Amino acid sequence: NAGVTQTPKFQVLKTGQSMTLQCAQDMNHEYMSWYRQDPGMGLRLIHYSVGAGITDQGEVPNGYNVSRSTTEDFPLRLLSAAPSQTSVYFCASYNGAKNIQYFGAGTRLSVL
Amino acid sequence: GQQLNQSPQSMFIQEGEDVSMNCTSSSIFNTWLWYKQDPGEGPVLLIALYKAGELTSNGRLTAQFGITRKDSFLNISASIPSDVGIYFCAGQAYSGAGSYQLTFGKGTKLSVIP
Protein backbone atom coordinates (compact mmCIF):
# COMPACT_ATOMS: atom_id res chain seq x y z
CA ASN A 1 0.00 0.00 0.00
CA ALA A 2 3.03 2.26 -0.16
CA GLY A 3 2.33 5.61 -1.76
CA VAL A 4 -1.49 5.72 -1.40
CA THR A 5 -2.73 7.29 1.83
CA GLN A 6 -6.35 7.28 2.94
CA THR A 7 -7.90 9.15 5.85
CA PRO A 8 -9.71 8.57 8.09
CA LYS A 9 -9.33 4.83 8.74
CA PHE A 10 -12.67 4.63 10.52
CA GLN A 11 -15.77 6.83 10.50
CA VAL A 12 -19.27 6.62 11.91
CA LEU A 13 -21.95 8.92 10.49
CA LYS A 14 -25.61 9.53 11.10
CA THR A 15 -28.02 9.33 8.19
CA GLY A 16 -28.02 12.62 6.31
CA GLN A 17 -24.60 13.78 7.43
CA SER A 18 -21.95 14.68 4.91
CA MET A 19 -18.27 13.90 4.90
CA THR A 20 -15.22 13.66 2.68
CA LEU A 21 -12.92 10.66 2.44
CA GLN A 22 -9.41 11.76 1.62
CA CYS A 23 -6.97 10.02 -0.71
CA ALA A 24 -3.48 11.14 -1.63
CA GLN A 25 -0.72 9.54 -3.65
CA ASP A 26 2.88 10.61 -4.04
CA MET A 27 3.75 8.56 -7.11
CA ASN A 28 2.69 11.16 -9.68
CA HIS A 29 0.12 8.79 -11.16
CA GLU A 30 -2.47 10.29 -13.45
CA TYR A 31 -5.18 7.67 -12.97
CA MET A 32 -6.88 7.30 -9.60
CA SER A 33 -10.07 5.57 -8.56
CA TRP A 34 -12.42 4.87 -5.67
CA TYR A 35 -13.93 1.46 -4.89
CA ARG A 36 -16.30 0.19 -2.26
CA GLN A 37 -16.07 -3.31 -0.83
CA ASP A 38 -19.09 -5.10 0.54
CA PRO A 39 -19.33 -8.70 1.79
CA GLY A 40 -19.76 -11.12 -1.09
CA MET A 41 -19.57 -8.32 -3.67
CA GLY A 42 -15.85 -7.89 -4.25
CA LEU A 43 -14.70 -4.38 -5.08
CA ARG A 44 -16.91 -2.12 -7.17
CA LEU A 45 -15.77 1.04 -8.91
CA ILE A 46 -17.46 4.25 -7.74
CA HIS A 47 -15.64 7.02 -9.61
CA TYR A 48 -12.33 7.42 -11.34
CA SER A 49 -10.10 10.15 -12.70
CA VAL A 50 -7.65 10.03 -15.58
CA GLY A 51 -5.95 13.25 -14.55
CA ALA A 52 -6.33 16.57 -12.80
CA GLY A 53 -9.64 18.19 -13.71
CA ILE A 54 -11.10 15.00 -15.22
CA THR A 55 -13.45 12.61 -13.44
CA ASP A 56 -15.96 10.01 -14.56
CA GLN A 57 -18.47 7.60 -13.10
CA GLY A 58 -17.84 3.97 -12.39
CA GLU A 59 -20.23 1.12 -11.69
CA VAL A 60 -21.88 2.51 -8.53
CA PRO A 61 -21.59 6.34 -8.54
CA ASN A 62 -24.94 7.33 -7.01
CA GLY A 63 -24.64 9.23 -3.74
CA TYR A 64 -20.98 10.10 -4.26
CA ASN A 65 -19.14 13.08 -5.71
CA VAL A 66 -15.47 13.43 -6.59
CA SER A 67 -13.11 16.13 -7.75
CA ARG A 68 -9.51 16.15 -8.91
CA SER A 69 -7.94 19.56 -8.49
CA THR A 70 -4.40 18.18 -8.23
CA THR A 71 -2.62 15.05 -9.42
CA GLU A 72 -1.94 14.01 -5.83
CA ASP A 73 -5.41 14.23 -4.28
CA PHE A 74 -8.70 12.54 -5.13
CA PRO A 75 -11.32 13.11 -2.39
CA LEU A 76 -14.64 11.25 -2.29
CA ARG A 77 -17.63 13.14 -0.92
CA LEU A 78 -20.83 11.81 0.56
CA LEU A 79 -23.31 14.70 0.51
CA SER A 80 -26.08 12.98 2.49
CA ALA A 81 -25.01 9.66 3.96
CA ALA A 82 -27.38 6.69 3.85
CA PRO A 83 -27.15 3.32 5.65
CA SER A 84 -26.62 1.68 2.24
CA GLN A 85 -23.29 3.48 2.08
CA THR A 86 -21.94 1.52 5.04
CA SER A 87 -18.93 -0.14 3.49
CA VAL A 88 -15.17 -0.22 3.25
CA TYR A 89 -13.83 2.30 0.77
CA PHE A 90 -10.56 1.91 -1.09
CA CYS A 91 -8.68 4.44 -3.12
CA ALA A 92 -6.33 3.21 -5.84
CA SER A 93 -3.62 4.77 -7.95
CA TYR A 94 -2.56 3.44 -11.34
CA ASN A 95 0.97 2.88 -12.58
CA GLY A 96 0.65 3.14 -16.34
CA ALA A 97 4.14 1.81 -17.05
CA LYS A 98 3.42 -1.45 -15.21
CA ASN A 99 -0.34 -1.51 -15.85
CA ILE A 100 -0.95 -2.03 -12.11
CA GLN A 101 -3.26 -0.40 -9.58
CA TYR A 102 -2.05 0.11 -6.00
CA PHE A 103 -4.51 0.40 -3.14
CA GLY A 104 -4.69 2.40 0.06
CA ALA A 105 -5.42 0.72 3.40
CA GLY A 106 -9.10 1.63 3.27
CA THR A 107 -11.68 3.68 5.18
CA ARG A 108 -14.29 1.77 7.15
CA LEU A 109 -17.52 3.75 7.15
CA SER A 110 -20.65 3.03 9.13
CA VAL A 111 -23.82 5.03 8.56
CA LEU A 112 -26.40 4.70 11.31
CA GLY B 1 -20.89 -4.89 -18.05
CA GLN B 2 -17.97 -7.22 -17.59
CA GLN B 3 -18.30 -9.94 -14.98
CA LEU B 4 -15.75 -12.16 -13.33
CA ASN B 5 -16.57 -15.51 -11.81
CA GLN B 6 -14.06 -16.48 -9.16
CA SER B 7 -14.00 -19.91 -7.55
CA PRO B 8 -14.02 -21.35 -5.06
CA GLN B 9 -15.60 -18.80 -2.73
CA SER B 10 -13.81 -20.28 0.27
CA MET B 11 -11.31 -23.01 1.06
CA PHE B 12 -10.16 -24.79 4.20
CA ILE B 13 -6.88 -26.60 3.74
CA GLN B 14 -4.20 -28.24 5.84
CA GLU B 15 -0.86 -26.54 6.17
CA GLY B 16 1.50 -27.85 3.49
CA GLU B 17 -1.21 -28.52 0.92
CA ASP B 18 -1.32 -26.89 -2.48
CA VAL B 19 -4.13 -24.47 -3.37
CA SER B 20 -5.68 -23.58 -6.70
CA MET B 21 -8.23 -20.92 -7.53
CA ASN B 22 -9.40 -19.46 -10.82
CA CYS B 23 -11.35 -16.74 -12.51
CA THR B 24 -13.33 -16.75 -15.72
CA SER B 25 -14.80 -13.86 -17.63
CA SER B 26 -17.36 -13.25 -20.32
CA SER B 27 -15.05 -10.60 -21.79
CA ILE B 28 -11.46 -10.34 -22.89
CA PHE B 29 -8.95 -8.58 -20.65
CA ASN B 30 -5.59 -7.05 -21.46
CA THR B 31 -4.15 -7.70 -18.02
CA TRP B 32 -4.93 -10.13 -15.24
CA LEU B 33 -3.98 -9.26 -11.67
CA TRP B 34 -4.06 -11.30 -8.49
CA TYR B 35 -4.34 -9.52 -5.14
CA LYS B 36 -4.32 -10.68 -1.53
CA GLN B 37 -6.18 -8.86 1.20
CA ASP B 38 -5.40 -9.34 4.87
CA PRO B 39 -8.01 -8.39 7.48
CA GLY B 40 -8.25 -4.63 7.91
CA GLU B 41 -5.94 -3.91 5.01
CA GLY B 42 -6.22 -2.96 1.37
CA PRO B 43 -5.55 -5.42 -1.47
CA VAL B 44 -1.87 -6.02 -2.14
CA LEU B 45 -0.70 -7.05 -5.59
CA LEU B 46 0.74 -10.57 -5.81
CA ILE B 47 1.18 -11.21 -9.53
CA ALA B 48 0.46 -9.30 -12.74
CA LEU B 49 -0.02 -11.04 -16.10
CA TYR B 50 0.21 -9.14 -19.35
CA LYS B 51 0.09 -11.64 -22.23
CA ALA B 52 -2.15 -14.53 -23.17
CA GLY B 53 -0.51 -17.79 -22.14
CA GLU B 54 1.89 -16.08 -19.75
CA LEU B 55 2.90 -18.15 -16.73
CA THR B 56 4.46 -16.18 -13.89
CA SER B 57 5.77 -17.21 -10.48
CA ASN B 58 6.36 -15.24 -7.30
CA GLY B 59 7.87 -17.53 -4.69
CA ARG B 60 5.31 -20.22 -3.91
CA LEU B 61 2.71 -18.52 -6.08
CA THR B 62 2.16 -19.28 -9.75
CA ALA B 63 -0.42 -17.65 -11.99
CA GLN B 64 -1.33 -18.00 -15.64
CA PHE B 65 -3.07 -15.77 -18.16
CA GLY B 66 -5.41 -17.97 -20.18
CA ILE B 67 -4.94 -18.37 -23.91
CA THR B 68 -8.43 -17.07 -24.62
CA ARG B 69 -7.72 -13.98 -22.41
CA LYS B 70 -10.93 -14.77 -20.56
CA ASP B 71 -9.51 -16.72 -17.64
CA SER B 72 -6.68 -16.97 -15.16
CA PHE B 73 -5.65 -19.23 -12.31
CA LEU B 74 -3.54 -18.84 -9.19
CA ASN B 75 -1.74 -21.71 -7.47
CA ILE B 76 -0.15 -21.61 -4.04
CA SER B 77 2.21 -24.45 -3.23
CA ALA B 78 3.00 -25.80 0.23
CA SER B 79 0.60 -23.47 2.05
CA ILE B 80 1.60 -21.88 5.36
CA PRO B 81 -0.53 -20.16 8.02
CA SER B 82 0.34 -16.65 6.76
CA ASP B 83 -1.33 -17.49 3.43
CA VAL B 84 -4.66 -16.95 5.18
CA GLY B 85 -6.63 -14.11 3.64
CA ILE B 86 -8.90 -13.24 0.76
CA TYR B 87 -7.51 -13.57 -2.75
CA PHE B 88 -8.98 -11.49 -5.55
CA CYS B 89 -8.55 -11.78 -9.27
CA ALA B 90 -8.95 -8.65 -11.33
CA GLY B 91 -9.15 -8.09 -15.04
CA GLN B 92 -8.07 -4.86 -16.61
CA ALA B 93 -9.33 -3.65 -19.96
CA TYR B 94 -8.68 -0.42 -21.75
CA SER B 95 -12.03 1.34 -22.05
CA GLY B 96 -11.06 4.33 -24.11
CA ALA B 97 -10.32 7.97 -23.29
CA GLY B 98 -7.27 7.00 -21.23
CA SER B 99 -9.15 4.97 -18.65
CA TYR B 100 -8.29 1.48 -17.45
CA GLN B 101 -11.23 -0.16 -15.81
CA LEU B 102 -10.48 -2.85 -13.25
CA THR B 103 -13.11 -5.55 -12.71
CA PHE B 104 -12.77 -7.69 -9.57
CA GLY B 105 -13.85 -11.20 -8.78
CA LYS B 106 -15.74 -11.67 -5.52
CA GLY B 107 -12.78 -13.25 -3.82
CA THR B 108 -11.62 -16.60 -2.48
CA LYS B 109 -11.33 -16.78 1.30
CA LEU B 110 -8.47 -19.08 2.26
CA SER B 111 -8.15 -20.66 5.68
CA VAL B 112 -5.09 -22.75 6.56
CA ILE B 113 -5.31 -25.28 9.36
CA PRO B 114 -1.97 -25.74 11.12
Does residue B31 surpass a pLDDT of 50? yes
Q: pLDDT truncated to tens, each residue of chain A (112 aa)? A: 459 999 999 999 999 999 999 999 999 999 999 999 998 778 999 999 989 999 999 989 999 999 999 999 999 999 999 999 999 999 999 887 777 888 999 999 999 9
pLDDT on residue A41 = 79
Backbone phi, psi, residue A83, to 5°:
-55, -30
B59 Cα to chain A: minimum distance (Å): 19
Q: What is the mean pLDDT of chain B?
A: 91
Q: In A, which residues are within 8 Å of B31 by CB distance?
A: 99
| Contact flag B42-A103 (C-beta cutoff 8 Å) | yes
Does residue B2 surpass a pLDDT of 70? no
**Which tens digit of pLDDT belongs to each residue from B75-111?**
999 999 999 999 999 998 876 665 677 889 999 999 9
| Contact flag A31-B44 (C-beta cutoff 8 Å) | no
Residue A88: strand, helix, or coil: strand
pLDDT on residue B14 = 96
pLDDT on residue A40 = 76
| Contact flag A43-B101 (C-beta cutoff 8 Å) | no
Closest CA to A44 of B106, B37, B76: B106
Average pLDDT in the B59-88 region? 96
Average pLDDT in the B17-34 region? 94
- Residue in chain B nearest A39 by alpha carbon: B106
Average pLDDT in the B64-77 region? 96
**d(C-alpha A88, C-alpha A110), whole Å:** 9
Cα distances (Å, whole numbers) of residue A57 to A18, A43, A50, B82: 20, 15, 11, 37
- Residue in chain B nearest A90 by alpha carbon: B42
Put simply, whether A99 touches B (Cβ < 8 Å) is: yes
Asked if A78 and A18 touch (Cβ cutoff 8 Å), the reply is: yes
Strand positions, DSSP E, A14-86: 19-25, 32-38, 42-51, 54-57, 64-66, 76-78
| Contact flag B31-A99 (C-beta cutoff 8 Å) | yes
- Of A58, A100, A105, which is closest to B48 when you measure between CB atoms? A100
Task: Tell me the one-letter amino acid at A88.
Answer: V
